[in-house]
Copies of this chain bind each other. A is one copy, B any other.
Amino acid sequence: MSDTNRKIIDVLNGKTISPPPVWLMRQAGRYLPEYRKTRAEAGSFLDLCYSPDHAVEVTLQPIRRYGFDAAILFSDILVIPDALHRNVTFTEGHGPQMDPIDEAGIFALKDDNGLQHLAPVFETLRRLRQDLPGETTLLGFCGAPWTVATYMIAGHGTTDQAPARLFAYRYPKAFEHLLTFLADLSADYLVAQIDAGADAVQIFDSWAGVLGEEEFDAFCCRPVQRMIASVRARRPGAKVIAFAKGAGMLLKTYRQKTDATAIGLDWTVPLAFARELQKDGPVQGNLDPMRVVAGGKAMEEGIDRILDELGHGPLIFNLGHGITPQADPETVAALVHRVRGISR
């Protein structure tokens, strides 16, 4: 199957497409009744991630409904700590939890066949590439080392990642070891995803915004640069979307330093600045997910502004963060129509 008709790949190659291709972060999610049904059948959240039957089904659901230009593998950034035996659990209403790691634990980390643990993920990707329409881009993904490390150190999510920031100040060598270890394992993971059929991959650095400049450079830029270089050394030309949420004015150097193909933009990134970033390459984003919950004029104005400001360069239309369970599926249909110029 040639990928010449995949619009997102064209944008990642630097082309401007009008109207732009569109997908939504967390598009396979709780706002869809069919997702909630499959989720209930699957067992635990990790059971859903590791069951190719169920994971393929929920990945395809939003494609069937909306014909998004990309399907993104249904999985979670925390399958990497799970593969590292950190005892990861997802409890409704409590978010993810795992055994917090300490200095000794970090130096004892080893990749004892972690990717084997993730075999169902690769099976899911292989089946997806077969089942998806030819024009739909298949995206793989993983968490960035910093963001994954914040959960591994705290043992759970926190507001401002104070535990990981403190750990990094106290144990700089152990922390660097952890980031490098995660970067290398995650690069292997992305290579395997590409080999299983992913056309491109996205790296989620959801907690990039809580760091000082020097720490952003050391904890976000450098590990992601290492990952991308490692993937491209083995799979030349591999396309990577890097999403450093909250990185703000540091996104310009972030692109330069990481050599990401495209930069994901959260909803706080001013569009004038986004246009600057777009001069250096493709961007993806950045509608406030709350505008989708609000719907109506609030959503339409937000969509139109993005199209007006960023539609004249390489753009993948997306939200600035994952879609939330409160969103109405009908409103999502209206979003897609408006982006595609059907209802504007």
| Chain A residues close to B by CB (< 8 Å) | 159-160, 162, 165-166, 169-170, 209-213, 216, 246, 248-250, 267-268, 270-271, 273, 288-291, 293-294, 298, 320-321, 324, 326
Contacts and interface: CB of A to CB of B under 8 A. Distances in A.
Nearest to A273: B249
A170 B298 contact: yes
Contact of A165 (B160, B169, B288): B288
A306 to B, nearest CB: 11
Contact of A324 (B162, B210, B298, B324): B162
A224 to B, nearest CB: 18
Max count, chain B CB within 10 A of own CB: residue among A170, A211, A326: A170
A248 B170 CA distance: 26
A212 B166 CA distance: 29
Contacts of A249: 248-249, 270, 273
Given A209-B246, A249-B248, A169 B294 contact: yes
A290 B159 contact: no
Contact of A298 (B162, B169, B293): B169
Contact of A267 (B212, B250, B273, B288): B212
Contacts of A288: 165, 169, 212
Given A248-B248, A290-B169, A293-B166, A209 B212 contact: no
B166 A290 contact: yes
